[in-house]
Amino acid sequence: MAENMNGSLVAAILSPQPEIAQTFVATLCGADVPKGQVQVSGLGGVVVEVPPIEPLEVMVEHVKSADFSVMLLRFVDDATLEIALAIMRALPPNVQSAVHIAIVREQGEGEFKMSCPQCGQKLMIKDALAFRRTQCPRCKHPFTIPGQADLVRRKFLIPQEGTVSRVLSGDVESCLNALRVAHRQSGGRRAEMKSTTMRLDSLIIDNAGGTIS
Ligand SMILES: [Zn+2]
């Protein structure tokens, strides 16, 4: 893995709401700075950085040069998700798959914001109501309330075995844990590519695109 000059890993902290990413860095570094360094057990020094979201090309360069990235989501309404998905789509596929998604909550918060699947009305949903049937107060469309993590998995095509971390705003341990999971997610992928060997010498592709032995 690439290391910066003082030997630390670099983590890009992304969010459709830049202030959420900023709070994450401030929680870890104890100061309201866009970039700082933190010691993470098992990883050593990690430089955490909030790249600018715009222009997109500059953001992409920051994320590509980072060792791993975390995307922090608090609200999962359509408008917020559209920004998050636009950030993801701007990244090359191999970088995209290494972005770890984490849900951010305020301490003691037991509800989340999503959109009505029919009319897009923003709705505050209590966690306790997940998996129950309800009706949009605006358009009366009936729907089953998703869990917030399930909704995130669906929108970002995260497989069931993939982890969606949970970060408590201002809580150092949950921020450190998200960094460790993000590092594992990116490292596992790269290590797997390096250790896999494919044998090609016995395969000859004929003109029709099939194989002959
Ligand atoms: Zn509706």
Domain ranges for the chain: 9-109+147-212
Candidates 71, 44, 95, 94; CA nearest to 155 is 71
Per-residue pLDDT tens over the stretch 81-95: 999 999 999 999 989
Peptide bond into 117 cis (omega under 30): no
Give the distance (Å) from ligand 1 centre to CA of residue 134. 11
Give the distance (Å) from ligand 1 centre to CA of residue 150. 20
Give the distance (Å) from ligand 1 centre to CA of residue 73. 22
Give the distance (Å) from ligand 1 centre to CA of residue 78. 12
Give the distance (Å) from ligand 1 centre to CA of residue 166. 28
Alpha-carbon span 20 to 73, nearest angstrom: 8
CA separation (Å) from 6 to 42, 77, 86?
17, 40, 33
Question: pLDDT grade, residue 12 (50/70/90)?
Answer: very high
Give the distance (Å) from ligand 1 centre to CA of residue 123. 9
Q: Are 154 and 161 in contact (CB under 8 A)?
A: no
pTM, rounded to two decimals: 0.84
CB-CB neighbours of 178 under 10 Å:
26
Question: pLDDT grade, residue 194 (50/70/90)?
Answer: very low
Q: What is the CATH number of domain 9-109+147-212?
A: 3.40.50.300
Whether 195 has a pLDDT exceeding 90, the answer reads no
Whether 151 has a pLDDT exceeding 50, the answer reads yes
